[in-house]
Amino acid sequence: MNQKLTLLLSTIICSLFLNGCAVSPKQYDTQQSRALNIARAGGIYDQDLQDSSDGTNSYKKSLLLRALNATALLTSLDAPLSGMTGAQTLAFNAGNIMATPDNPSARPSLMAWMPKTEASNKDNARIKFEELVDASLINTAQNMGIIVEKLADKGITMPKLNGWDINIWTVDAPQFGCKPEHCVIATHVARINDWQTPEFITSGPGASFILDSNHPSQYSRIIFQQTTEKVSFPVDEFYRQLSASLPAWSAMYFPPNTVFKDGQTLPYPVLYEHGQQLMFVTPQS
């Protein structure tokens, strides 16, 4: 195997698995949107996700919104999660919160590049970021005039994924048609890796603890779910405000048909950063 091919394969392996290889951080590609640059830096590397002329045709495969199969999901009412009502369990199951699609671009993901100066090690970084997510969620709820309650604070045992809790929050927002039994938010902060922050991330270049999205199951997520006939909660606005409250070195990605705005799903992928919704739009030359 020649030297150039060996170097290329090593770079690809490091990029895909973020295994600590000594490679330079991702450089900004001016021929791609900021959304796509961030997504690629965060491990969403599969080619189903691309830029398009107006951002509405940026996903190659058809992700059809599946209507809730209430008959099948009602089985969850027979064995609700510990301490949760049957309706809350139904909301949790309906959101496919524990689902792990093969392609990173097909799943909602939380990405972040925490500077190494903010934590002593990877375990400490994961705990600190989980606390930041909690604080940001509470702040967002206050700004939107809604009430959120973390079920773990009531002594309810949370389900685990890869050894870490999936934190479930109920949402009480009558002005948006949300009752605690039908509206839940699930947050999950998964594994942390050592990496290098790209220069185009707000915290700037340097060593970081990264929450990446490329692992088949160990990726972080924040998902809102409402299991009523019509989703009336302003999900897009909630994600915008939450991204503004989260650290500036974080971002959230959502595939097509997972974000609701004005009661309708957005049929294209979006990314939230600094309180803004970014679309995957090809830059104008």
- 173-187 pLDDT per residue, tens: 999 999 988 898 999
Q: Lowest-pLDDT range, 5-9, 151-155, 227-231?
A: 5-9
Instruction: For the chain, report the end-to-end CA distance as a whole number of angstroms.
Output: 39
pLDDT tens-place string over residues 99-137: 778 899 999 999 999 999 999 999 999 999 999 999 999
Tokens of 278: 């970014």
If you average pLDDT over residues 134-147, what whole number do you get?
Answer: 98
* pLDDT interval class at 205 (50, 70, 90): confident
Task: Tell me the C-alpha distance between 280 and 255, whole Å.
Answer: 11
Spell 67-104 as b/e; 16+ CB within 10 A means b.
Answer: ebeeeeeeebeeebbeebeebbbbbbbbbebeebeeeb
- What integer is the mean pLDDT of 68-76? 42
pLDDT confidence bin for 267, thresholds 50/70/90: very high
| Cα–Cα distance for residue pair 263/270, rounded to 1 Å | 17
Q: Is the pLDDT of residue 79 over 60?
A: no
> In the Cβ-directed half-sphere of 130, how many Cα atoms lie within 13 Å?
19
Cβ 185 vs Cβ 223: under 8 Å = yes
Lowest mean pLDDT among 89-93, 98-102, 121-125, 273-277: 89-93
Least confident of 2-16, 122-136, 233-247: 2-16
- Mean pLDDT, all residues of the chain: 84
CB 187 within 8 A of CB 57: no
- Please state the domain extents for the chain: 30-279
pLDDT of the residue at 74: 42
DSSP string across the chain = --HHHHHHHHHHHHHHH------PPPPP-TTS-HHHHHHHHTT---TTB--BSSSTT-BSS--PPPPP-HHHHGGGGGSPPTT--HHHHHHHHHTTTT---SSGGGS-EEEEEEEGGG-SSHHHHHHHHHHHHHHHHHHHHHHHT-EEEEGGGGTPPPPEETTEE-EEEEEEBGGGTB-TTTEEEEEE----EEEEE-TTSTT-SEEEEEE-S-SSS--BEEEEEE-SSS--S-HHHHHHHHHHHS-TTEEEEE-TT--EETTEE-SS-EEEETTEEEE-BPPP-
Q: Is the pLDDT of residue 72 over 60?
A: no
Tell me the range of 59-68, 75-84, 254-263 where mean pLDDT is highest: 254-263
Percentage of residues of the chain with pLDDT beyond 90: 57
Q: What are phi and psi of 277, to 5 degrees?
A: -90, 120
- The tokens for 97 are 């919160």
Q: Could you tell me which residue, 158 or 106, shows the higher pLDDT?
A: 106
The highest-confidence range among 1-10, 81-90, 151-160, by mean pLDDT, is: 151-160
What confidence category does residue 229 fall into, taking pLDDT thresholds of 50, 70 and 90? confident
CB 222, CB 111: distance < 8 Å: no
Please state which of the ranges 84-88, 150-154, 232-236 shows the lowest mean pLDDT. 84-88
Cα separation, 109 vs 244, in Å, equals 16
Which of 285 and 123 is assigned the larger pLDDT?
123
Structure tokens belonging to residue 259: 């974000």
pLDDT score, position 240: 98
Q: How far apart are CA 126 and CA 192, in angstroms?
A: 6
Phi, psi of 268 (to 5 degrees): -140, 160
- In the predicted model, what is the mean pLDDT of residues 269-283? 97
